[in-house]
Chain A
Amino acid sequence: MMLRLTFRTGWTVAIFAGQLGAFALCAAGEAEADKSPPAVPARIEFNRDVRPILADNCFLCHGPDQNRRKADLRLDIRDDALKAEAFVPGKPSESELVARVESADPAEIMPPPRSNKKLDARQKEILRRWVGQGAQYQRHWSYEKPVKAEIPAGQNAIDVLVGRRLDALGMKPAPEADRRTLIRRLSFDLIGLPPTPEEVSAFVADTAPGAYERLVDRLLANPHYGERMALGWLDVVRFADTIGYHSDNPRNIWPYRDWVIRSFNDNKPFDRFTVEQIAGDLMPGATTETRVGSAFNRLLLTTEEGGAQPRDYESRMLTDRVRAIGAAWLGQTTGCAQCHDHKFDPFTMRDFYSLGAFFADIQEPIIGRREDGMIVASAEEEKTLARLDAAVAEARKRLDAVARELDAAQTQWEADVARYAITLPELGRDSKASPAEKGTATAVQAALTKTAGVRNRREREVIRSYFRDRITPLYPAERAAYAQAEQARREFAERLPRCLVSVHTEHPRTVRILPRGNWMNETGEIVKPALPHYLSQPEHSGRALTRLDLALWLVSRDNPLTARTVMNRLWKQFFGQGLSRQLDDLGAQGEPPANPALLDWLACEFMDSGWNGKHMVRILVTSNTYRQSSTATPEVLAADPLNRELARQNAYRIDAELVRDNALAIAGLLVTKIGGPSVKPYQPEGYWENLNFPPRHYVADTGDAEHRRGLYTWWQRTFLHPSLLAFDAPSREECTAERTRSNIPQQALVLLNDPTYVEAARAFAARILRECAGRPEDRLTRAWQLALQRTPRPPELATVTKLLAQHLKDYRAHPDAARALISIGVAPAPAGIDPAELAAWTHVARVLLNLHETITRS
């Protein structure tokens, strides 16, 4: 059947869609809450109960990988298992599988002791009961198309589906969080910045119906929304400013980052967002915008290392790209299929290399420096560029009109040079020419020694331009006009941003299956681009597939994985963890979602809405589930320690970039400009000392660039800015669906001692003193409002008042120390404030910026 995909921008692409799979989703029933050990369910379900046991313990030797298969037995396909007489459905006592897992004999027991795997009593009972109930299989949940649950009209589907499980488990949702917590949570989640005290009080005071929804709409329309949403996507596609391997040199790529931000702000439908990235150059009506999106294909690691072999890196780049598609869209771990068929999922080596073959048409150097990339000009700049191009053409025309006479004169001059053995003036003994001029003249002189007939193009050109620039007096106006037009064009173009993008070649690289992943082995079969065989796909009647086909398939209804993968990640942004906790693996070794109906509903709604991101975000954040308090009662904590059932919100530390943004915003230092080249904030001396080829010297930016948001920080893959690294920002060498969230001493050192935070503390202090004259208590209240959007509690006031007095006394006694502290940073120290007072308040501000609560979204 023919499927028409229409994007809301109006372009339509027809693709052939295969028959829709007729699999009914086997509704997963109630999974157990995280209690240990849960009772064995009366009715066993393969996907929920059995598959995890088999996948973790058996598939390694009795699964999809035929090279590792033992005893000619595979347990992942029912027919094969039956044929091998692994079990007799309905008769556990006659079943070899049951006998072997229950055996006490080390020679008999499965899994064997040498595997270091062991089944517990519950797992054994599950297998016995499953065989007893007929040993029914289910297709892995994520390979089935998602099915949308019926939701009563007018209700939020999230609340309905979460509520059903809570009812079944006898649990109650937490009460709604207070308004201050809600606006703080929403602000961090939607724009990545804290609310101002004024915004908080306005929201608290707005008791009219729909106040919350209006707040959500306002934040969704805020241009910082795109920045906030970009954080996760930039991790997952591994966006960075440098190439990654060895010398880790820079490359031109930042316009892609701005493209991502813009896409989120414009609410570009996710299908369109996908196609532009994978095939923005191949789309009908490709534009500068769509081509910048196609920079996605260039985000991988590359090398300039001497001795690196092209075929080696061709293979590394292919595998890098396959892993990226797997991570960003499919939620599949594909990396192992580089060397062998996946041991747990049906993803084969052929799938792996065929997927990689989609990218064989991308023009790029395999080894060495990246090209400068495409000019990325604004519409205005495009116009200027076109005007300058026209001027060059016009000047050229006029020069060409007199070319014959100039060339004749040049021939005459060349003959003179040869006849009289003339040395060019720049090379004369008393020449005052610059080294560059001498260099040019040397090249010309050398070219002139050759007879005209054997000169190459480059030599002809240097002679010609030298003659026209330096020798001939003929047609000065024409020559000057041309030179000026060219120079104007060059100078303008040099200032324009550039970006690596995808450029298609008609002569793609040959892609072979590499036996055991070995790039030196060229005996493997040649493969063409193809979609993973185990997922339903459009009929394309033997037509050669392109990146455009891949992109369209990723966001087609045929694909059961993309919408789930994206929604699972989105869920993490608003709840701190995915519905399936394994964001990067929805395959057999991942974790089935605790609430499969909910993930499926979100996936379906996402597709039904035309892949409308803001629509989904709105549904998430307006749900009562999202609006719950994150404080858990001891009973809830005991019943569901990991909060799989969502009877509360979660509290967690904000992301690395936001830790910085938050401090700068509180201090009033944050420069809110959106986009542009990456910036270099303060960085410890010597942090780049282990870089080489060439050695790098970090020069921190000054002025506004010093106080930009964290996501604009120069992303040096091998040495990511240490304050981002301390808070778990990934190096982006590999796709990262899931940042770890650690709590380590380096975080304390950054917040206490990094000049960025010391400067922020001083600016925050000055702000308090400036904005609030009066008693210290009033000022402290203002400080609390700015940092935490609440009033201080009495014990807090007592602690800080004492601290302030102590520091004030110290600095009055040591004014030099006060001046030293308040001069840290580039932001000018305010005039008219007593240095001792400012220094003492800097400490108070610093304490506030260091609080756990300040960097926590609850």
Chain B
Amino acid sequence: MNERFDRAGVPLDRRAFLGRSAHGLGTVALASLLSPSLLRAGPENPAAHEPALTLPRQARRVIWLTMAGGPSQFETFDPKPGLARAAGQPMPESFTRGQQLAQLQGERLVCLPPLFRFRTYGKNGTEISELLPHIGSIIDEICLIRSMTTEAINHDPAHMFMNTGSQIAGRPSMGAWVTYGLGSEAENLPGFVVMVSTGKGRSPQPIAARQWSSGFLPGRYQGVPVRGQGEAVHYLSRPRGVSRDQQAADVAAIRALNHNHDSVAHDPEIAVRIAQYEMAFRMQTGVPELTDLRGESARTLALYGCQPGDGSFASNCLLARRMAERGVRFIQLYHRDWDHHSLLREELPLRCREIDQACAALILDLKRRGMLEETLVVWTGEFGRTPMSQSNKGPVGRDHHNKAMSMWLAGAGVKPGFVLGATDELGYAAVENVCTVHDLHATMLHQLGIDHNAFRVKFQGLDARLTGVEGAKVIKDILV
């Protein structure tokens, strides 16, 4: 028995969730868990009358591409000729006074010009870095935001903030929120899957399991890490010496005995236990089927630029598409190598190469299959980088920065070929259409058909929301 939720994960105090309606979204989540086909067979929007779900749903799922470490916007998406002109000059104090700095604290602050050229792409002649030609080639499919900001300036708190809307541990991640709200459509895969790839860079970011935690939501909404190499899901493989038939026989016996016990104990929890064993057993076929890329054509593999089983970000992008096809609700891919305090000139092109073609391939592949219009793709780091150089860690790089970062979205009702917002002349701070992480979350929920203000769960006496208590706005300008 749980104190805040019943066994279906529905809050016991319904007021805590979506007002007073008798048919909370959690019910949908339960239905999908016990029998995913129920959800699929139901209306497109089975809980449309719910206060939090009154919005038209554009996105059925989310693929969130996290560039952990904080990619430099000056060498990717935010062209700054002003910064180039100021090369080598001291950063004017009017920009930096009283601002948070990380590793540049107490250092001389000097403008570092963009280290790579920008080229124009697409119908609108959008400028992005020469390091990202493939993303350039699909620029008309994506929506760029150059005015994103965040609050945290160190990796760990910044990841927490991006994933959970809070810098304090223990809050549910956005994938948990979304699966909690909408349930899963996957028959034999978890509803929220996380994949982490490590590039060939020098200092990959540590990524804590709390980044996909379900926090105070029931454990079933936590992200399940699926690995691109080795055992895909921990404890998924049968013990050696146990055949599939033997495993099935054991699971059947467990079911029979649990069922028999229920006739004595009358404990509704037993039915859930039985269902979970069946889900676990289905995952034992579902996951290997997912990761088996033999059915993908040579053309597709070439599009992504990956080899089956190489564990690369590109492979994971292809797997993300396969998960999307199989009904996974929230797919989060991490690439861990973007923390370029030094060696920016040397390392960044290599890291860009690891993701550029794959990101473009994912968009093209989803589009080709008619899935882009119902899949929200988000590409972002946890913060941006400084226009000032950092040279206290070796060859020149840039420090952490929270006043400006660039990111992009695609699909699911987001304006294609659009650029929102701008930073100041030196790229220090976002000045036009400034967006916050809470705004980004509100917008994502909006596209999923969820009113972020009404989507709340009582925790420690407060109405906890993914979008926090400070207020957030849906970024309407980027929506079709």
**A residues with CB within 8 A of B:** 56, 116, 118, 120, 244-248, 301, 303, 305-309, 312, 333, 335-336, 344-345, 520, 576-578, 581-585, 587-590, 631-632, 642-643, 650-653, 684-687, 689-693, 717-720, 722-723, 725-726, 728, 731, 733-734, 736, 738, 740-750, 752-755, 758, 793, 795-796, 799-800, 803, 806-807, 810, 816-822, 824, 839, 843, 846-847, 850-853, 856, 858
Contacts and interface: CB of A to CB of B under 8 A. Distances in A.
A576 B279 contact: no
Given A631-B266, A748-B276, A749-B236, A733 B461 contact: no
A831 to B, nearest CB: 19
Given A307-B102, A335-B460, A803 B220 contact: no
B193 to A, nearest CB: 13
A190 to B, nearest CB: 20
Contact of A741 (B2, B249, B281): B2
Given A520-B98, A731-B213, A753-B236, A583 B3 contact: yes
10 contacts: A116-B19, A118-B20, A312-B100, A520-B100, A690-B336, A748-B280, A793-B260, A824-B240, A843-B242, A850-B277
Counting chain B residues whose Cβ lies within 8 A of the other chain, the interface size class is 35 or more
Closest 5 A-B residue pairs measured CB to CB?
A589-B461, A821-B241, A307-B102, A742-B219, A820-B241
A581 B19 CA distance: 20
Contacts of A248: 206, 208
Interface in B353-381: none
A686 B195 CA distance: 13
Contacts of B249: 803, 806-807, 843
A689 B206 CA distance: 9
A468 B155 CA distance: 49
B325 interface: no
A116 B465 CA distance: 13
Contacts of B241: 816-822, 824, 839
Contacts of A116: 19, 51, 451, 453-454, 456
Contacts of A588: 461
A590 B461 contact: yes
A748 B266 CA distance: 21
B12 interface: yes
B240 A820 contact: yes
B285 to A, nearest CB: 13
B45 interface: no
Given A583-B3, A851-B258, A303 B154 contact: yes
Interface string B161-172: 000000011100
A578 B15 CA distance: 20
Contacts of B269: 651-653, 743, 852, 856
B105 A309 contact: yes
A41 to B, nearest CB: 19
Contacts of B295: none
A632 B265 CA distance: 9
B154 A582 contact: no
Nearest to A57: B15
Nearest to B196: A690
Given A731-B213, A745-B279, A246 B250 contact: no
Given A307-B154, A753-B235, A719 B261 contact: no
Contact of A577 (B3, B51, B399): B3
A108 to B, nearest CB: 20
Given A246-B156, A745-B279, A749-B235, 14 more contacts: A303-B154, A309-B105, A333-B460, A335-B168, A576-B1, A581-B3, A720-B209, A800-B253, A810-B246, A821-B240, A847-B254, A850-B277, A851-B261, A852-B273
A795 B260 contact: yes
Nearest to A731: B210
Interface string B260-295: 110001110110110011011101000000000000
Contact of A743 (B251, B266, B272): B272
Nearest to A855: B273
B228 to A, nearest CB: 11
B235 A722 contact: yes
B12 to A, nearest CB: 7
Interface in B434-466: 451, 453-454, 456, 458, 460-462
